[in-house]
Each structure stands twice: as structure tokens, then as C-alpha cells.
Structure 1
Amino acid sequence: MRNLILPALVVCFSAVVIWASLQLAVSPPMIVGESMQPRVFPIVLMIINIGLAVALAVQYRVAPPKAVPLEGIATWGTIGLFAVFFGLTVYVDMIIAIAVTVFLMCLLWGERRIPVALGIAVLTPSTVFLLFDEVLQIRFPRGLFTNWYYG
């Protein structure tokens, strides 16, 4: 029964999101045209989420999971790096936060070649930034780098 707590929580969360999405007003056809209403996406996503939670519950009933040993420093360090990422995103800049977090995560997970870690730390946020800014034309929130780039 203990194994069903997580799937039950996921189903409850998904139901709350579906309920909240159904509270959104329907957009007039002049705005959305022939496309889907904005509230459809979270509802579909949560229906998929519920399906996966039910599949997980069935899987737990068929073959209960074995005890998992405590995670190592890499896992807990990664969780700490997410806190660092959040702080840097809020107070400095999202692109800089991605670069710093990726660099530290490379080192944490065992990459000992500093130039490789630096290359990944520069290439990843650069690719993300160019994809969103140039291809998708979505601007990032203002920060040190984005203020300089956007002018």
C-alpha cells in the first residue's frame, strides 16, 4: 500500500491542475482562430500524467520495487546545484546561471578535463539562448547578460 502513495499524489495533483485549467475563460475565436484553446494543453498533459501514474501503480502491484540504497554525493550535490541555479537565475541572469550550473555539474559528475567542462558550459547556454531568441523569438528575462545583449 505504501508504494501507491506516490501515484496517488500524482493523480491528485493532476486533478487539481485539470480543475484549475477548467476555470480559465474560453478565448474568443478572434484570438485563437482555428487553434486549440489555451487551457487544452495543461489538461491533455495532466491526462497523460494520470495515465502514467496509473501505469506506475499497476507496475508497483505486479512487481514491488526493491529497496534503493542511499544516493551518493553526486545526486545530493545536483539537488544543491538546482538551488544555486535558482538563486543565480533570480538575482543574476538565467544564461549565466545555466553556464555556472552546467560547469559545476560536469565537475560534480566526474569530468576532470576543465576545458571540456568549460566548453560544455559555454556551448549549452549559447545554444539554448540562440534557439529561443533567434529561432523561436522568445526573449529571456532581463539580467546581466540579457541586458547587455538586448541593449
Structure 2
Amino acid sequence: MKKKLYIIPLFLTLFSLVVIYLSLQLETSPQMIVGDSMQARSFPIFLMILNLILIGILSYQFSKTYPKEVKLEKFPTWSSILLFLLFYILVTISGDLFVAIPVVMFLMGMVWGQKKLWVALTNAIVTPLSIFLLFDYVLQVRFPRGWLTNIYYG
């Protein structure tokens, strides 16, 4: 068993614990500010607990089977970096995350070898829509205004 495999899970665990500690230092927001929505400190704590669970699963998998060396793919890697630049440009030009996210997700799937066009397109539409609805209905958090969010929010 190689010890270097556990460097990244250990670093991520320490990071998660620091974020949880810092989140617990935040004061609770008054009821008149947050209303029925979530406290500001609850969301990072929830994410870091989920992160710790996933780190535990990853470490367990590492202990059972040693992962094979992965050959780096230069074209998809550099293309992904350029797509993140495209994401930034789309967000600054359109002013809407929900215009940029589906475009970049679709192109990212195609760059990384998704052969079926409909799968990449479905993923690019359903994932951001699900995230948007989760934040809007469950967490009651509004996204910044943009083209599509202006239509939705009215």
C-alpha cells in the first residue's frame, strides 16, 4: 500500500475540518434577515460533511484496490482549461450563469469523448436546471439576475 495515495484524502480532510470550524465561528443570522431559509453557516457545514463521507469512501476504495497509473490526455485537459475561460467570457458577456453553464457542460462532454449528442445535451440542460430548482425551492436561495433568471423571477 502506497502512502502517497493518502496525501490528497488527508489534505481534503484537513480542509473540510477547517471549513467546518470556521463555519461554526459564524454567528447565527437573525430570523428577520434569513426568514424561513437556511442559516448562512449551515450550507458549508453540510457540504463539508458530505465531503468527509466521500473522502471516507475514497480512502476505503484505495485500501481495497490500488488504482492504476493514468496516462494524461493532453488535448482534453487543455481544452477543459480553455472551456473554463469560455465560461468566464460567457458569464461576463451574458451576465447569466444559466446561459454559460449548459454551453460549457455540453462542450466539455463532447471534448471528453461523449459520442451521443443527445446524452451531452440532456446532461447540459437537466443538471443546471436541477441545481437551479434545488437552490430555489429547497434552499430558498436566489441566483443573481441574468437573461434566463429574469424570465423566471419575473
Please indicate the TM-score interval, normalised by the length of the shorter structure. 0.5 to 0.7
Let me know the Cα RMSD of the aligned residues.
4.0
1:41 pairs with 2:36: no
TM-score under structure 1 length normalisation: 0.64
1:96 pairs with 2:95: no
TM-fit CA distance, 1:15: 1.0
After TM superposition, the structure 1 = structure 2 runs for residues 1-151 of structure 1, keeping only pairs within 5 Å, are: 1-28=3-30, 37-71=39-73, 73-93=75-95, 94-105=97-108, 107-108=110-111, 109=113, 120=121, 124=125, 128=129, 132=133, 136=137, 140-143=143-146, 145-146=147-148, 149=151
Between Structure 1 and Structure 2, how many residues are aligned? 142
Matched AA of 2:144: P
CA contact (8 A) 2:99 2:148 kept: no
TM-score under structure 2 length normalisation: 0.63
Matched AA of 2:54: L
CA contact (8 A) 1:140 1:146 kept: no
TM-fit CA distance, 1:138: 6.2
TM-fit CA distance, 1:23: 1.4
Quick one: structure 1 residues 91 and 37, their matched pair in 2 at CA, closer, same or farther if it must change by over 3 Å?
A: same
CA contact (8 A) 2:143 2:149 kept: no
Q: Which stretch of the first structure deviates more once superposed, 101-110 or 27-36?
A: 27-36
SS of match in other structure, 1:69: coil
Which structure has the larger Rg over C-alpha atoms? 1
Matched AA of 1:98: I
Consecutive unaligned residues in structure 1, runs of 5 or more? none
TM-fit CA distance, 1:50: 1.7
Distance in 2, matches of 1:22 and 1:138, equals 20
TM-fit CA distance, 1:10: 0.8
Matched AA of 2:42: V
Aligned residues with identical type, % of pairs: 40
Distance in 1, matches of 2:38 and 2:145, equals 30
TM-fit CA distance, 1:73: 2.3
